[in-house]
């Protein structure tokens, strides 16, 4: 039986290698400043640092932002659009922005988008899960409670979820009418 030889440890990072890692990461992923900083810190922790001073992580993040490689506001809006298109609500968008380290000012357009699209996103979620007007038959109270819990976990407002789930199967849904009722 032949075993694998252990991998030779990779050399510690220096400023040039850290810069290369930063460029490769922003070229491959849409990211926020906080996520980029966390990635670079993780790489330094994994491989070590070969320098007399502390790693210039913050200055690399600023450099990437100034070059336009990282734009927190655009990242936040893209994340909000993606989540609402998949049927997630404003609270789930807020959680995603918080996890990505987006501050309040950069995330405002994303929050506004999630608020404006709240009814349509809830309807997309209900359609995907076949709840309320998209169900094949009227739900039993226990099923309705589970559907309501699923919608709330997906970040939807309780009242909007209740309105959608109260609609009988096969109902033509007017998002504007639901918006006016909320």
CB 56 within 8 A of CB 15: yes
Entry pTM = 0.86
CB 89 within 8 A of CB 123: no
Domain ranges for the chain: 15-66, 72-116, 118-181
Rounded Cα–Cα distance for residues 103 and 75 (Å): 12
Q: Where are the beta strands (DSSP E) in the chain?
A: none
Q: Per-residue pLDDT tens for 56-109? A: 999 999 999 999 999 999 999 999 999 999 999 999 999 999 999 999 999 999
CB atoms within 10 A of CB 27: 8
CB 70 within 8 A of CB 32: yes
Provide the token pair at 76: 């936040």
Rounded Cα–Cα distance for residues 26 and 16 (Å): 16
Give pLDDT, residue 178: 78
Band (pLDDT 50/70/90 cuts) for residue 156 is very high
């Amino acid at each position: 039986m032949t075993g694998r030889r252990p991998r030779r440890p990779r050399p510690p990072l220096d400023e040039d290698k850290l810069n290369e890692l930063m460029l490769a990461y922003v070229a491959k992923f849409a990211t926020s400043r906080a996520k980029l900083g966390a990635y670079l810190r993780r790489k330094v922790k994994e491989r070590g640092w070969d320098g007399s001073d502390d790693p210039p992580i913050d200055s690399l993040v600023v450099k990437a932002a100034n070059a336009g490689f990282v734009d927190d506001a655009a990242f936040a809006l893209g994340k909000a659009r993606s989540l609402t298109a998949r049927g997630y609500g404003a609270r789930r968008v807020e959680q995603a922005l918080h996890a990505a380290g987006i501050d309040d000012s950069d995330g405002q357009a994303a929050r506004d988008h999630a608020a404006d699209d709240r009814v349509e996103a809830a309807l997309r979620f209900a359609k995907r899960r076949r709840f309320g007007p998209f169900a094949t038959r009227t739900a039993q109270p226990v099923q309705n409670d589970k559907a309501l819990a699923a919608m709330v976990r997906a970040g939807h407002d309780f009242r909007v979820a209740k309105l959608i789930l109260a609609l009988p199967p096969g109902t033509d849904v007017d998002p504007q009418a639901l918006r006016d009722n909320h």
